[in-house]
Amino acid sequence: MKKRVLVASNRGPVSYEFGADGTLTGRRGGGGLVAGVAEGLAAMTPEAEVSWICAALSDADRAAAHTRAPEEPGAVPVRMLDIPPEIFDRAYNNVANCVLWFVQHLLFDTPNQPRFGREFHRDWAAYRVYNEAFADAMADEAVGTSAGVRVLIQDYHLSLAPRLLRDRLGGQAAEVGIAHFSHTPWAPPDYYRMLPAEVGEAVLDGMLGADHVGFHARRWAAAFLDCCEVILGARVNRSGGDPGPVGRVVHRGKVTEVAVHPLGVDAPALRARARAGDVRAHVTALRRAAGDRKLIVRVDRTELSKNVVRGLTAYRELLATRPEWHGRVVHLAFAYPSREAVPEYRAYTEQVRQIAAEITAEFRTPLWNPLILEVKDDYPRSLAACAVADVLLVNPIRDGMNLVAQEGPVLSERGCALVLSREAGAAATLDGDALLVNPYDVSETAVALHRGLAMPDAERRRRTEALAATAAASPPALWLGAQLASLDP
């Protein structure tokens, strides 16, 4: 009998748009979570009956949720939840993105933020309602199926859902395996306990409703175990293993396994995508624009944690301190729009544009444009940029994993030096061949950019091959398969 697998995440694998005539068209949803889960599922679909529960994110999605909009043949069936807009806005923007994301990435400007007052408690109540909507849908899908159901709940939007689902399943819970996976880092207890006590406890208790809790890197799993011990007073056993289980938490009489599952890339599929005509056309155009100059590339969402402003400042310092690169390097910075409903993100995008304009004004000559900033989402162009990069800059303040750091070496055509923040989860596996930097240290980052540009070709190619092999060693199918295997009785 086929296994039944349920996936739950805020953003689903498809998002809809209204055409001019009012018809709905679907297109693939964005982000590393969606890509990783979708590719992992594609590899196992023949042996499993899969469905994916997600939130409707727009009016077109809401319409699609009610009209059974057409799906691509062979696509995973998607159940979109039409959560009332006000509840969704409070849960997604105010709690998930403006509080939980900020906590896990250590993003607060603490003299001013956060301030947990009455308004926040209303937001928190909405977050609970949002999680309940997911738990209801999951229970509805799971109840009554005879084969053991495996439920894979994704990320900080759904931290309460594992416990809420377990409660709803009652006696059937023993036959259902529940896993939760965090694509973010996890904060140390001293920072985490900035959350109001009942909120910090509810998040941990909610996740511990799962049988298995996963993270991309050992550091994040260890911090989670620390929080369970310090904040909840739960019994914690730590063990070896990475990848694999790194500990167990006993809480309210239930044991939850905590494990590390690094997510890399499906290298053959990525390389095949990069051979398509649209990517090739961008490769040609970018090479023509660069001429014989070297290219420093970055590809990110315009996201506070991605540290785009310090990255640009480091490039400015490189040009200011090493005039030998004038006219010989171009920085291609792709920072595609993200979470534009959040004022901090809009202000950050403006800051990115501003500093880019300053760098251009300071160094541009009639024959040389030192910086190309593109604030738009263009996937084929991003792949092309990775293919032609001589240096790839990935300098997040903190990051659960980071896929670009892994995709870049896989896509690289002539070898690229990877300047990588030591605070990215990916640094745990790529540290041997990347140039690691402290993301706050602009001068160190500028020196690393210089080292990357000056690196001999043979060394750059050797390091790129090693980085690509590491990234390819944890493809999505393996990542997802390991989580499902951990739920087997």
Q: For residues 263 and 217, give the distance between their C-alpha atoms in angstroms, rounded to a whole number.
A: 9
Task: Decide if residue 228 touches ligand G6P (CB under 6 A).
Answer: no
398 touching ligand G6P, by CB under 6 A:
no
The site map against ligand G6P for 333-362 (x = CB under 6 A) is: -----xx-----------------------
When computed from its CA atoms, the radius of gyration of the chain, rounded to whole angstroms, is: 23
User: Could you tell me which stretch among 27-35, 65-73, 123-131, 314-322 binds ligand G6P (CB under 6 A)?
Assistant: 27-35
Judged by beta carbon, residue 338 or residue 412, the one nearer ligand G6P is 338
Backbone φ and ψ of 14, nearest 5° = -140, 145
Helix (H) or strand (E) holding 464: helix 457-472
Asked if 262 touches ligand G6P (CB under 6 A), the answer is no
* Between 313 and 338, CB nearer to ligand G6P: 338
**Choice from 62, 150, 180, 183 touching ligand G6P (CB under 6 A):** 183
- Counting residues that bind ligand G6P (by CB under 6 A) gives 9
Task: State the alpha helices, DSSP H only, in 364-436.
Answer: 379-388, 404-411, 427-430
Q: Which two tokens mark 327? A: 């006219």
Helices (H), 306-399: 308-321, 343-363, 379-388
Query: Among 26-34, 45-53, 193-201, 320-328, which window interacts with ligand G6P (CB under 6 A)?
Result: 26-34
Query: 399 Cβ partners below 8 Å, 6+ apart?
Result: 105, 185, 305, 306, 421, 423, 424, 425, 426
31 versus 481: smaller Cβ distance to ligand G6P: 31
Determine contact, residues 302/335, Cβ cutoff 8 Å: yes
Q: Nearest distance from residue 318's CB to ligand G6P, in Å?
A: 29
Q: How far is the CB of 33 from ligand G6P (least distance, A)?
A: 4
Positions 54 through 113 that interact with ligand G6P (CB under 6 A): none
Residue (of 424, 486, 394, 433) closest to 217 by Cα position: 424
By CB under 6 A, the residues from 239 to 258 that bind ligand G6P are none
Q: Which of 206, 139, 201, 208 is nearest to 175 (CA)?
A: 139
CA distance 99 to 114: 8
Residue among 39, 61, 123, 155 that touches ligand G6P (CB under 6 A)? 155
CB 49 → ligand G6P: shortest distance, Å? 24
91 or 149: whose CB is closer to ligand G6P?
91
Please select the residue that binds ligand G6P; options are 159, 184, 256, 395, rule is CB under 6 A. 184
**CA distances, 450 to each of 102, 176, 213, 271, 315 (Å):** 32, 53, 40, 28, 9
Of residues 12 and 415, the one with the C-beta less far from ligand G6P = 12
Q: Is 32 in the site for ligand G6P (CB under 6 A)?
A: yes
Which amino acid is present at 45?
A: T
What is the tally of helices (H) and strands (E) in the chain? Answer: 19, 17
**For ligand G6P, the closer CB: 4 or 306:** 306
Asked if 54 contacts 82 with a C-beta cutoff of 8 angstroms, the reply is no
Asked if 31 touches ligand G6P (CB under 6 A), the answer is yes
261 counts as binding ligand G6P under rule CB under 6 A: no
Task: Based on the shown chain and the rule CB under 6 A, indicate whether residue 11 belongs to the binding site for ligand G6P.
Answer: yes
Residues forming the site for ligand G6P (CB under 6 A) = 11, 31-33, 155, 183-184, 338-339
